[in-house]
Amino acid sequence: MDLKLTDRRVIITGGSSGIGRASALAFAAEGARVGIVSRDEIGMARTLELASEAGHSLHSAVADVTDETAVADALKHLVDELGGLDTLVHCAAVSGPVGRSLGDVSADEIRQTIDVNVVGAFIVAKAGLAHLEAATDATFVMIASDSAFVASPDMVVYNASKAAIVHMARSLAVEWERAGIRVNTVSPSIVDTPMSRADLGIGEKGFVGVDYPVLTADDVARAVLYLSSTASRGVNGHSLLMDFGYSARSSFPA
């Protein structure tokens, strides 16, 4: 299927690694004009290097998603470089405290996680709105998680933050519909990224030999591209759940 992404102007937060990097490379391979944002300059440089090796050129800007001024400046810079904005993809996030029950988590850790995962998403959305309003068939895609729908143990802050992202997208889909902007989320289960490897104590070999299914960042990137394209023009306010059918299973013993 030709998603008709040639010359689509795309900005991706969290483009320094994982799903953000995979999405940037996938868009570029489809002929889109791509800019990435991250606080990780070294990681962004590697993304640009990988794109160059594949024959593509990306633009980049440094910003922490919790810094409203920096995000607004970064998006404006990239919009100027790209000549506009058709698709905004928000991937930047942190895991927060993992492997600890709520009683062992400090209020500062809770605030830090919510600040990045939730407040950061609002900051990115707010900064992107005026640019998206100027486009035709504009789309905003955020990366949520299956943890928004099922409770991963000892990750209560992360779970709650991703549930917030899902409902934020639904709310924005309704609010921005009059501006012609579609808003959706992708909610994957475990994805083989540096963040999930660190969370689960997986080494450099990756998820080899584990007894549960694992997505690749490229798997998720393909979903992002679909939701960003006119092929999904009837999809709005939706969360594309990529959990291998886990949440569909009944606990009925049969």
Q: What is the pLDDT of residue 189?
A: 94
Say if 198 falls within a structural domain: no
Sign of CA dihedral 33, 128, 226, 117: positive
Whole domain around residue 88: which residue ranges?
9-189+215-239
Say if 32 falls within a structural domain: yes
Q: What is the pLDDT of residue 254?
A: 66
Task: Write the Ramachandran bin of 127: left for phi over 0, alpha for psi from -120 to 50, otherwise beta.
Answer: alpha
Closest CA to 63 of 105, 6, 130, 13: 13
Say if 254 falls within a structural domain: no
AA identity, residue 99: G
Say if 99 falls within a structural domain: yes
Closest CA to 23 of 220, 242, 183, 226: 220
Closest CA to 225 of 89, 54, 79, 101: 89
Query: Which of 158, 189, 228, 229 is an active site residue?
Result: 158
| Catalytic residue flag (residue 76) | no
Q: What is the pLDDT of residue 249?
A: 86
| Catalytic residue flag (residue 226) | no
Query: Which of 147, 161, 162, 228 is an active site residue?
Result: 162
- Split into its structural domains, the chain has a count of 1
Q: Can you give the CATH number for the domain in which 220 is found?
A: 3.40.50.720
Q: What is the pLDDT of residue 128?
A: 99
Say if 232 falls within a structural domain: yes
pTM of the shown model: 0.95
For residues 79 and 114, is the Cβ–Cβ distance under 8 A? no
Q: What is the full per-residue pLDDT of the chain (254 aa) written as tens digits?
A: 789 999 999 999 999 999 999 999 999 999 999 999 999 999 999 999 999 999 999 999 999 999 999 999 999 999 999 999 999 999 999 999 999 999 999 999 999 999 999 999 999 999 999 999 999 999 999 999 999 999 988 999 999 999 999 999 999 999 999 999 999 999 999 999 888 888 877 777 778 778 889 999 999 999 999 999 999 999 999 999 999 999 998 878 76
Say if 1 falls within a structural domain: no
| Catalytic residue flag (residue 145) | yes
Closest CA to 126 of 88, 78, 177, 84: 88
Question: Which tokens in the block code for residue 108?
Answer: 């500062």
Say if 36 falls within a structural domain: yes
- Tell me the CA distances in angstroms from 175 to 88, 183, 223, one per residue in order: 16, 10, 23
Q: What is the pLDDT of residue 62?
A: 99
Q: What is the pLDDT of residue 86?
A: 99
Query: Which of 16, 145, 187, 228 is an active site residue?
Result: 145
